[in-house]
Structure 1
Amino acid sequence: MGTDALTEEQQTHFLEHGWVHLPGAIPEKNIRRYTQDVWIRTGYDPLDSGTWAEEKFRMPRHKEMLWKEFAPKGYGAICDILGGEDRLDPTIFNKAGDSLIANFGKEEYRDVMCTGKAGDMFICHGFMLHSASKNHLRIPRFITSPKFVLKDPFNYNRENLKDYSLLELKTLKELGVSYLPDWKFIGQRARFNPDNNVKKDSRLPFELERLKAHASKTGGIIDSIHVISIAEYNGWTEDRIAQGEVIPV
Structure 2
Amino acid sequence: MLTPEQKQQFVEKGYVLIKGGIKNLDLLAKMREQTWERIGYDPHNRETWVDRYVEFAATEAHYFPDMAPRVCKAIGELVGGLDRVDIKSIQYLWNRFVVKYSYYPDSREWQLPESMWHRDGGYFLNFLDSPETVIVPLILASDIESRGGATIILPESVSLIARFLADHPEGVYGWQHLRPCYPIYEIAASCKEYVELTGKMGDVYLMHGFMVHAGGYNYSQEPVYVMNSQVCLKEPLNLSSKNPSLLEQATLKALGVSSFDFKPTAPRKRITMPKDDSLKLVS
User: Per-residue deviation at 1:130?
Assistant: 1.2
Which protein is richer in strand relative to its size? 2
Q: How does 1:178-189 map to 2 (within 5 A)?
A: 178-180=258-260, 182-185=261-264, 187-189=266-268
DSSP-derived class of the 2:16 partner: strand
What TM-score comes out, normalization by structure 1 length?
0.70
Q: Which of 199, 202, 206 lines up with 1:116 in the alignment?
A: 199
Q: Which of 7, 11, 16 lines up with 2:12 in the alignment?
A: 16
In the alignment, residue 70 of structure 1 is paired with which amino acid? M
Q: Deviations over 1:192-221 (max 9, x none)?
A: 3333589989632xxxxxxxxxxxxxxxxx
DSSP-derived class of the 2:36 partner: helix
Q: Aligned residue for 1:58?
A: 55
Tell me how large the CA RMSD over aligned residues is. 2.5
Q: Aligned residue for 1:169?
A: 249
User: Per-residue deviation at 1:75?
Assistant: 1.8
Distance (whole Å) between structure 2 residues aligned to residue 10 and residue 111 of structure 1: 33
User: Per-residue deviation at 1:185?
Assistant: 4.5
Which ranges of structure 1 fall in alignment gaps of 5 or more residues? 205-249
Q: Is the 8 A contact 1:110 1:137 kept in 2?
A: no
DSSP-derived class of the 1:130 partner: strand
User: Per-residue deviation at 1:76?
Assistant: 1.6
Q: Aligned residue for 2:83?
A: 86
Distance (whole Å) between structure 1 residues aligned to residue 40 and residue 107 of structure 2: 23
Q: Aligned residue for 1:46?
A: 43
Larger Rg: 1
DSSP-derived class of the 2:71 partner: helix
Q: Is the 8 A contact 2:15 2:206 kept in 1?
A: yes
Q: Is the 8 A contact 2:51 2:280 kept in 1?
A: no
- With a CA cutoff of 8 Å and minimum separation of 6, indicate the structure with the bigger relative contact order: 2
Q: Is the 8 A contact 2:85 2:233 kept in 1?
A: yes
Q: Is the 8 A contact 2:54 2:282 kept in 1?
A: no
In the alignment, residue 201 of structure 2 is paired with which amino acid? A
In the alignment, residue 8 of structure 2 is paired with which amino acid? T
Q: 1:76 and 1:33, CA in 2 relative to 1: closer, same or farther beyond 3 A? A: farther
Which protein is richer in helix relative to its size? 1
What TM-score comes out, normalization by structure 2 length?
0.62
Q: Is the 8 A contact 2:11 2:250 kept in 1?
A: yes
Which ranges of structure 2 fall in alignment gaps of 5 or more residues? 111-144, 147-197
Q: Aligned residue for 1:138?
A: 221
Q: Is the 8 A contact 1:60 1:100 kept in 2?
A: yes
Percent of aligned positions that are identical? 30
Q: Is the 8 A contact 1:58 1:101 kept in 2?
A: yes
Q: Aligned residue for 1:32?
A: 29
Q: Aligned residue for 1:129?
A: 212
